[in-house]
Structure 1
Amino acid sequence: MAPAMSAGAFLHALKAEGLTVVEVGNWRDHHRNSKGPWGPVHGVMIHHTVTKGSARTVEICRKGYAGLPGPLCHGVITKDGRVHLVGYGRANHAGLGDDDVLRAVIAEQGLPADNEANTDGNRHFYGFECENLGDGKDPWPAVQLEAIERAAAAVCRYHGWDERSVIGHMEWQPGKVDPRGFTMSSMRGRIGDRLGSKASAAPAPAPLPAPRRPVVDLSRLVAAARTNPRQSGQPVTYAGVRTVEAALVDQGLLAKRYSDGHYGTTTIAAYSAWQRHLGYRGTDADGIPGKASLVKLGQRHGFDVKD
């Protein structure tokens, strides 16, 4: 049983994780505690807002709208990576969800399918709303994805939880699709890396045979990367390019419309951003894959690498 941290401890935890935090109005005392209990807390829930424009998004999440009073979360993560604190305590963000999912979160085990709405999630989850239209086309900037990672890790670090305590709304309540545009599996991988836990999900009962992981041939990928398809009549390409492009899309570094199987200038720029995310600079971040950076991308997005 974990009591919720104080508002001050919540603020301190976010800042200690390296986040830029904006305190909005009387956020510490803005809550729905009169409508039901707040705590014990068991996890963190991630949402997308289906809104456009940071100022409007923060205002809606703070005040709510007809039929659903605010606050609609504890923190709003805008596209610039800032976390806007709009309320603290019970918030209208999770709604009713599956008690089997809650038990798995508490046990830090793999999640079952959510097929019931019988448990009060507003009581048990910290909530972060993330500015995005949720149409699968609106991009997720790298700085925003990193802020989601850091915010969730900050809460987990305080409570001693691992990344399996972080779920998406879509994993809690039947019919929900948020967050859309990245996978919660990849986000939990990022959070696990940050926490240093690298916990592996518990196997589901009677598991199906695991699908074969794609294998990306590094030498063929480099050949494709060094060939400009707009200037060459026969660009070097193969299925591994699409695998890498899909990972870059999932990472929030490449727009889906550019995931066309040709390692062109846009893909080079996206891979360069991935290299910089890993700490590479100068010619080491030229967008041409090296084995170390490609292996790390594969670890997060489910493919293997061969030389």
Structure 2
Amino acid sequence: MATPPSASTFAQLLRDEGVTVVEVGNWEDHNRNHKGPWGPVYGVMIHHTVTSGSAATVRICRDGYSGLPGPLCHGVITKDGRVHLVGYGRANHAGLGDPDVLAAVRAERAAPADDEATVDGNRHFYGFECENLGDGEDPWPEAQLEAIERVSAAICRHHGWGPLSVIGHLDWQPGKSDPRGFTMASMRERVADRLVGTAPPVVLPEPVKPTVDLSRLVAAAQSDPSRAGTPVSYAGVKTVEAALVDAGLLEKPYLDGHFGSATVDAYARWQRLLGYSGTAADGVPGMTSLKRLGDKYGFTVVA
């Protein structure tokens, strides 16, 4: 039996394994826990998305769709190898599966063929959706395969599990084919190789964070919306817009360095997420809200 760690610990153990993590919106509190418990957890389940395009894939996996509300997993692994955290807790990814498979995963032995669907997998598995069309032809870049290996190993390392705790959706639920394009046996071999020994993984140095000047940003927010076209009045706007995109508040086409009305609206949504309202959530950055955004998405703020 294993209890999931806190959301912050979960994100850090992935980073400690060398994973590039992107935190999407309020992922720490986005879950389906009102539908039932999450845990004890027994393994990691890998899926493919049958989608293309990273932004659309992350959005679908975070929000879900008609008949299947999000989150649809805990992390989305895009083709560039980044892991986008979209939820933490119970997620709609595994569905009902085979009790004999669950028993095998718990005992860390080879799983039998899945031939029934009677046990709640959403309660007992971490889930990762991987951007791929699932047609057997869409390629799996090495960066993406390595990210699958790393997240699986990180979770196994934390709980003291072995590679047999990592399964595919096709191992769990009859009729499922995901992930298609590589075998879970080959992925478990990769995880096993990574788990050999107990030495901690190499921790890469933190990248230098960009700096955003609050006064110049405010000037752009106040003047850009009324200017014709999309001129860039301050390069730091693009840093803030990239953070708003990662937060799921701004569509990627508006990541252009112009603090226009779409960026103002997105920043106002960020302010409301922090609890501001009225004129305090007008879309013009303030020191506290900007520092909170920078702390979460990797930039520093100067006055």
Q: TM-score range by the shorter chain?
A: 0.5 to 0.7
2:169 maps to what in 1? 169
Distance 2:170 2:132 in 1: 15
How far does residue 111 in structure 1 lie from its aligned partner after superposition?
Answer: 0.7
Aligned match of 1:136: 136
Residue 56 of structure 2 corresponds to which residue in structure 1?
Answer: 56
- CA shift, 1:161, in A, is 0.2
Task: Output the TM-score relative to the length of structure 2.
Answer: 0.65
1:99 aligns with 99
Cα distance, 1:6 vs structure 2: 1.0
Residue 18 of structure 2: aligned partner: 18
> In structure 1, how many angstroms separate the alpha carbons of the residues matched to 2:172 and 2:156?
18
In structure 2, the residue matched to 1:283 is: none
1:9 CA drift (Å): 1.1
1:4 aligns with 2:7: no
How far did 1:4 drift? 1.1
Partners of 2:116 and 2:10 in 1: CA distance: 30
Write the mapping of 1:110-189 to structure 2, written as runs, cut at 5 A. Answer: 110-189=110-189
d(CA) in 2 for partners of 1:165, 1:28: 24
Instruction: Please give the alpha-carbon distance, in whole angstroms, between the structure 1 residues aligned to 2:2 and 2:147.
Output: 24
1:23, distance to aligned residue in structure 2 (A): 0.2
**CA-atom RMSD in angstroms:** 0.6
In the alignment, the residues of structure 2 paired with residue 6 and residue 104 of structure 1 have an alpha-carbon distance, to the nearest angstrom, of 26
Inter-partner Cα distance in structure 2 for 1:25 and 1:120: 27
Structure 2 match to 1:76: 76
User: CA separation in 2, counterparts of 1:40 and 1:111?
Assistant: 19
Structure 2 CA distance, aligned partners of 1:191 and 1:138?
Answer: 23
SS of residue matched to 1:127: strand
Quote the Cα distance in structure 1 between the aligned partners of 2:153 and 2:161.
Answer: 9
Deviation of the 1:37 alpha carbon: 0.6
Q: Does 1:191 align with 2:195?
A: no
| SS of structure 1 residue aligned to 2:180 | coil
State the distance in 1 between where 2:95 and 2:172 align: 9
Residue 140 of structure 1 deviates from its aligned partner by 0.1
Equivalents in 1 of 2:111, 2:122: separation in Å? 19
Q: What secondary structure sits across from 1:122 in the alignment?
A: coil
Deviations 1:113-163 (A, max 9, x none): 000100000000000000000000000000000000001101000000000
Q: Given residue 183 of structure 1, which amino acid in structure 2 is its aligned partner?
A: T
TM-score, normalised with respect to structure 1 = 0.64
Consecutive unaligned residues in structure 2, runs of 5 or more: 198-303
- Structure 1 residue runs of 4 or more that deviate by more than 4 Å after TM superposition: none
Q: 1:66 — aligned with what?
A: 66
- C-alpha distance after superposition, 1:233-278 (max 9, x if no partner): xxxxxxxxxxxxxxxxxxxxxxxxxxxxxxxxxxxxxxxxxxxxxx
**What's the counterpart of residue 87 of structure 2?**
87
1:258-273 equivalences under 5 Å are none
How far is 1:94 from its partner? Answer: 0.1
Q: How does 1:277-296 map to 2 (within 5 A)?
A: none
Q: How many Å separate the matches in 2 of 1:178 and 1:31? A: 23
Structure 1 stretches of 5 or more lacking a match?
Answer: 198-307
Q: Distance in 2 between matches of 1:122 and 1:113?
A: 19
Q: Paired residue for 2:36?
A: 36
Alpha-carbon distance, 1:5 to partner: 1.3
> Per the alignment, in what secondary structure is the counterpart of residue 44 of structure 2?
strand
Q: When the two structures are aligned, how many residues end up with a matched partner? A: 197
Q: Any idea what SS the aligned residue of 2:122 has? A: helix
Tell me how far apart the structure 2 counterparts of residues 184 and 40 of structure 1 sit (CA, whole Å). Answer: 23
Listed one character per residue, the Cα deviations across residues 275-306 of structure 1 (whole Å, up to 9, x for unaligned) are xxxxxxxxxxxxxxxxxxxxxxxxxxxxxxxx
In the alignment, which residue of structure 2 is the partner of 1:46? Answer: 46
For 1:192-207, list aligned pairs within 5 A.
192-196=192-196
